[in-house]
């Protein structure tokens, strides 16, 4: 496949990152490319504000391929704000299980209650009112406003920021937002926002941008100046934290004891078998005793079952699992 990139010989064009002709050229190129190359995703086939809100919440810090099955199941179970509001917290968290960042699900539930009580069951059409909902930040609010309500708000996620930073040489936060606002000042702001994000996700990558296939390469300031690789957001890698988390499975009469974790913190409000985090320098036995004291009886683990290994963002959890039959010898 051959792609012709036409270069504008007037160098002053590239040195005017906020010039109106450049915005016009960029808009046309983005919309034309997006119309032909966008991925077929279910939330792009609708302008239903509720569905878009759910999708954008799920997509926060989560890859598209991971979101797809959850999005479909969630909307089948809770197709409207009313259904979500009436569902129990346990039902919502059960459908969210495995997607991570469970506070997003809790915030959706809280926001659904507010929407039902204060907005007659419909997402408000004002940016500030959407922004005030639990779990909604400037990006999510702008995405809903532009895609569902066709209002000109720039939705700047990591991908969109990267494209704007390179295309318009926008280094400062104020410059990024100015470029975003001017770009989406158009009859199709939602399409432009999605085109920016799609371009950043598929072509204008952080490490290996595929400039020959980029629809806006002809007007890209970073490409013209030879700074395409230096003009990228600095990588922020958090140090991995290893957590020891011993657990005891207590079974008695074919029933397994579960308890709910306190709200807040890691996996707040979810159900678990007894156990918890081991402190630095603490023995395994001491950690188990400390976490099991609240059961009212002293639990004596009878056998070691194995170890569960799991990762949550930068945390690596090592959970040695023990078994207790719950009989008189193990419960005192």
Strands 247-252 and 241-244: unpaired
Between 258 and 13, residue with greater pLDDT: 258
* 8 A C-beta contact, residue 163 and residue 199: yes
Tell me the pLDDT band of 292, cut-offs 50, 70 and 90.
Answer: confident
User: What is the homologous superfamily of the domain 11-225 according to CATH?
Assistant: Hypothetical protein; domain 2 (1.10.340.30)
CATH 3.40.190.150 is the classification of domain 241-324: no
The tally of CA atoms less than 13 A away on the side-chain side of residue 125 is 7
Domain boundaries, the chain: 11-225, 241-324
Catalytic (active-site) positions:
56
Query: What confidence tier does 252 reach under pLDDT thresholds 50, 70, 90?
Result: confident
Q: What is the pLDDT of residue 16?
A: 46
Q: Is 186 helix (H, G, I), strand (E, B) or coil?
A: coil
Q: At what angle are helices 158-167 and 189-202 packed, to 10 degrees?
A: 90
Phi, psi of 260, rounded to the nearest 5 degrees: -95, 135
The per-residue pLDDT for 169 is: 86
pLDDT of residue 237: 67
> Structure pTM?
0.78
Q: What is the pLDDT of residue 12?
A: 43
Pairwise CA distance, residues 123 & 273, whole Å: 38
Arithmetic mean of pLDDT, 84-110: 94
CB atoms < 10 A from the CB of 142, how many?
27
């Amino acid at each position: 496949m051959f792609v012709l990139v036409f270069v504008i010989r007037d160098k002053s064009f590239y040195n005017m990152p906020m010039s109106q002709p450049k915005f016009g050229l960029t808009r046309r190129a983005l919309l034309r490319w997006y119309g032909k190359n966008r991925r077929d995703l279910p939330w792009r086939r609708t302008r239903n504000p509720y569905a878009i809100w759910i999708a954008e919440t799920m997509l926060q810090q989560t890859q598209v391929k991971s979101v797809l099955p959850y999005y479909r199941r969630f909307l089948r179970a809770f197709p409207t704000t009313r259904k979500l509001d009436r569902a129990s917290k346990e039902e919502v968290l059960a459908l969210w299980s495995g997607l991570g960042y469970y506070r997003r699900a809790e915030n959706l539930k809280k926001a659904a209650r507010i929407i039902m009580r204060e907005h007659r069951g419909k997402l408000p059409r004002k940016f500030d009112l959407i922004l005030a909902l639990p779990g909604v930040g400037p990006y999510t609010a702008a995405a809903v406003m532009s895609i569902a309500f066709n209002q000109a708000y720039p939705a700047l996620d990591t991908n969109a920021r990267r494209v704007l930073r390179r295309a318009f040489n926008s280094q400062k936060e104020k410059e990024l937002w100015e470029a975003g606002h001017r770009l989406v000042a158009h009859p199709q702001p939602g399409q432009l926002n999605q085109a920016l994000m799609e371009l950043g996700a598929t072509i204008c990558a952080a490490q290996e941008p595929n400039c020959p296939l980029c629809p806006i390469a002809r007007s890209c300031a970073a490409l013209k100046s030879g700074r395409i690789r230096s003009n990228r957001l600095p990588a922020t890698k958090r140090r991995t934290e290893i957590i020891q988390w011993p657990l005891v499975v207590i079974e008695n009469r074919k029933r397994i004891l579960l308890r709910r974790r306190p709200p807040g913190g890691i996996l707040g409000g979810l159900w678990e078998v007894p156990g918890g985090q081991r402190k630095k320098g603490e023995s395994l036995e001491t950690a188990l005793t400390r976490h099991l004291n609240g059961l009212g009886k002293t639990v004596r683990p009878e056998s070691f079952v194995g170890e569960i290994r799991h990762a949550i963002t930068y945390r690596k959890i090592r959970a040695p699992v023990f078994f207790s039959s719950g009989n008189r010898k193990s419960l005192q």
